[in-house]
Amino acid sequence: MDKLIIHGGRRLTGEVAVSGAKNAALPLLFATLLAPGPHRLGNLPQLRDITTAEHLLAGLGATVESRNGRVVLTSNTPATFEAPYELVRTMRASVLVLGPLLARYGLARVSLPGGCAIGARPINLHLKGLEAMGAEIHLDHGYVEARAKRLKGARIYLDLPTVGGTENLIMAATLAKGTTVLENAAREPEIVDLVRALQGMGAKIEGAGSDTVTIEGVDELKPMDYAVMPDRIEAGTLLLAAAMTAGQVRVLGARPEHNEALLSKLEEVGADIDIDEAGICVTGPGEICPVNIRTQPYPGFPTDMQAQFMALMAIGRGTSVVSETVFENRFMHVCELQRMGADINIDGHTATVQGVEQLLGAPVMATDLRASACLVLAGLAADNTTELSRIYHLDRGYEGLEQKLRKLGADIERVSA
Ligand code: UD1
C-alpha cells in the first residue's frame, strides 16, 4: 500500500491547474445511460472513482474508450440492470444508475449502499421520489429492485436537499411522461453542470441551481457532448495549502462563484485573495486568525472542505468552532490531527479548535477522502516528517495531488510500503 512522506515547513508558491470535478463527472457518466450514444465527455479527472464508474457502466452494457483525453461511451442495452454490491460498496455514487436505468429501461437493481465512515447515508429520499413517479420498489437481499413501465411526472418535496437524490430524480424525470417538480432540491454547482449536459442531450429542465427544479419529460434524448466543470473542492484544498504555508498559489481554472463561502472565510482568516480570468490566487497571512465555520448545503460552507479548513484552524492564533451539520460522523480526522499536536475538543457536532503554534510531524492514517486531504495540509505545515498511510482514500478523489503540491515547492513523495 502506498504512503505519502511529507517534510513540512516549505512555503508553497506558483501556479497549478485544477482538474475536472469528481462529483460532477460521476453523475455525468451515469447520465450516459439515458441515451444510446456515442457520448463524448471531456475534462474527466483520472481517479479511482472514475474507473469504478466506468467498470459499472461496462457491466451495464456500455463500451468505454479513452481518446485524446476524452472518453467516448456507447450505452448498449444491458444484459443485466444491476449495480452490484462489490462496486456500490467502494463507491456510493453508484446508486446514481438507479434513475437513468429505470427511466430508460423500466428496470434497475442496485445494491443498497449501507453506512460509510462519515455516517449512515441512506437513500430513502431517492426511493421516495421514484415511488412518487410511479416506480414499484422492493428490497431484496440487500438490493433495491425498482420497476416502472414508464415513469410519470410528479411533484416531489425532498425532506432535505440531498445532492445525489436531486441528481437521481432529475435524470429519472428527463424521460418520464409529464412534468416533475422537485422542491427543496439541492443547489450544488455539480447539479447545474449535470443539468447543462442533460439540456444539451435535449432534456427540458428549468430552475437548476435553485431549490425548485422543473423537468418536462421527453420521449428520447440525444448523445452527450460535454466537458466536466472544474473541481471546486480540489481548488479549495490547493488554496488552503497556500494559506497554511504563508505561501502564494494561483489555482488556474478555479471558479470563484463556486467557492464563495470558502473565499469569504479565507478573507476572515487574513488571507489575500486575487481573482482574475485565469483563476484564484491566495496569499497566506503571516498570522492565521481563528474563524468559525458551520457546514451546510450549497451555497453554505461545504462539508467536503470542513476537514481541510480544520487543519488551517489548528494553527490559528486563538479559538475557532467548527460545526458539522451535514454528516453525523465527520470528525475522524480529529484524532489524527491530535496526534500531530493539534488541540481540538469534540462535543457532538461541534469541534472547538484551540490553535497551536506548530503542528508536529507524525505517522498518521487517512480514514476517508477529505480527511486524507486535511492530513496532507497538516503535514505541509508541520515540522519534521509526516507519514500518511491508507492514501487509497486520497486517490479516489484527488488527481495527482502530490505532483501538484511538489510543483508548488512542497517536499512530498509517494512511496510503496
Ligand atoms: C454528495 C457528494 C459528497 C458530499 C455530499 C454533501 C457526490 C458523489 N458526493 O454526496 O462528496 O459530501 O454530497 O455535500 O457528489 N440523506 C438522507 N436520505 C437520502 C439522501 C441523503 O437522509 O435519501 C442525508 C445523508 O445521510 C446526509 C445528507 O442527507 O446526511 C446529505 O447527503 P447527500 O446530499 O445525499 O450526499 P451525497 O449525494 O451522498
pLDDT in tens, 354-410: 999 999 999 999 989 999 999 999 999 999 999 999 999 999 899 999 999 999 999
pLDDT at 413: 97
pLDDT in tens, 232-267: 999 999 999 999 999 999 999 999 999 999 999 999
Nearest to 49 by CA among 57, 39, 40, 61: 57
Distance 303 CA to ligand 1 centre (A): 10
Residue 45 Cβ contacting ligand 1 at under 6 Å: no
Highest mean pLDDT among 84-88, 108-112, 177-181: 177-181
CB 209, CB 191: distance < 8 Å: yes
Percent of the chain's residues with pLDDT above 90 = 89
Mean pLDDT of the chain: 95
Average pLDDT over residues 310-335: 95
CB neighbour class for 191 (10 Å; exposed up to 12, middle 13-18, buried from 19): buried
pLDDT in tens, 139-174: 988 899 999 999 999 999 999 999 999 999 999 999
Distance 51 CA to ligand 1 centre (A): 21
Residue 93 Cβ contacting ligand 1 at under 6 Å: yes
pLDDT at 328: 85
SS3 string of 212-224? EEEEECCCCCCCC
Lowest pLDDT segment from 32-36, 88-92, 299-303: 88-92
Strand order in the sheet with 136-140: 82-83, 107-111, 143-147, 136-140
pLDDT at 68: 62
Q: Show the beta-strand stretches assigned E in 152-247.
A: 155-157, 179-183, 204-206, 212-216, 225-227
**Residues 337, 342, 346, 349, Cα dihedral to 10°:** -60
The β-bridge partners of 177 are 152
pLDDT in tens, 58-102: 999 999 997 765 889 988 888 889 999 998 888 989 999 999 999
What b/e sequence results for 296-314 when a residue is b if at least 16 CB atoms lie within 10 Å of its CB, and e otherwise?
bbbeebbbbbbbbbbbbbb
Cα 1 off chain centre by: 24
pLDDT at 121: 76
**CA-CA distance, 280 to 264, in Å (whole number)?**
13
Average pLDDT over residues 179-202: 98
Known catalytic membership, residue 289: no
CB count in 10 Å sphere of residue 227: 15
Q: Which three cell numbers stand for residue 309?
A: 479548513
**Nearest CA residue ID for atom 22, ligand 1:** 122
Q: Is the bond leading into 38 cis (omega within 30 degrees of zero)?
A: yes
CA 274, 309, 123: angle at the middle one, nearest 5? 115
Confidence of residue 37 (pLDDT cuts 50, 70, 90): confident
**CA-CA distance, 233 to 196, in Å (whole number)?**
20
Distance 278 CA to ligand 1 centre (A): 31
Residue 367 Cβ contacting ligand 1 at under 6 Å: no
**Nearest CA residue ID for atom 30, ligand 1:** 327
- To test ligand 1's pocket by mutation, which of 121, 191, 349, 370 has the most ligand atoms within 8 angstroms of CB? 121
Average pLDDT over residues 169-191: 98
Percent of the chain's residues with pLDDT above 70 = 98
What residue has cell string 512522506?
5
- Would the pLDDT of 284 be above 80? yes
Confidence of residue 219 (pLDDT cuts 50, 70, 90): very high
**Nearest CA residue ID for atom 21, ligand 1:** 162
**CA-CA distance, 163 to 304, in Å (whole number)?**
13
pLDDT at 31: 97
- To test ligand 1's pocket by mutation, which of 56, 157, 159, 162 has the most ligand atoms within 8 angstroms of CB? 162
Q: Which three cell numbers stand for residue 302?
A: 461545504
**Nearest CA residue ID for atom 11, ligand 1:** 304
Nearest to 151 by CA among 136, 167, 133: 133
Distance 416 CA to ligand 1 centre (A): 33
Residue 49 Cβ contacting ligand 1 at under 6 Å: no
Average pLDDT over residues 214-239: 98
More confident residue, 153 or 116: 153
Residue 162 Cβ contacting ligand 1 at under 6 Å: yes
Q: Which three cell numbers stand for residue 269?
A: 482568516
Q: Which three cell numbers stand for residue 70?
A: 476524452
Distance 223 CA to ligand 1 centre (A): 28
Distance 121 CA to ligand 1 centre (A): 7
How far CA 139 is from CA of 108, 123, 124, 186, in Å, comes to 12, 12, 12, 26
Q: Which three cell numbers stand for residue 356?
A: 497551536
pLDDT at 204: 98
Question: What does DSSP say about strands 212-216 and 179-183: parallel, antiparallel, or unpaired?
Answer: antiparallel
Residue 299 Cβ contacting ligand 1 at under 6 Å: no
Confidence of residue 119 (pLDDT cuts 50, 70, 90): low
Residue 30 Cβ contacting ligand 1 at under 6 Å: no
3-state secondary structure of 22: helix
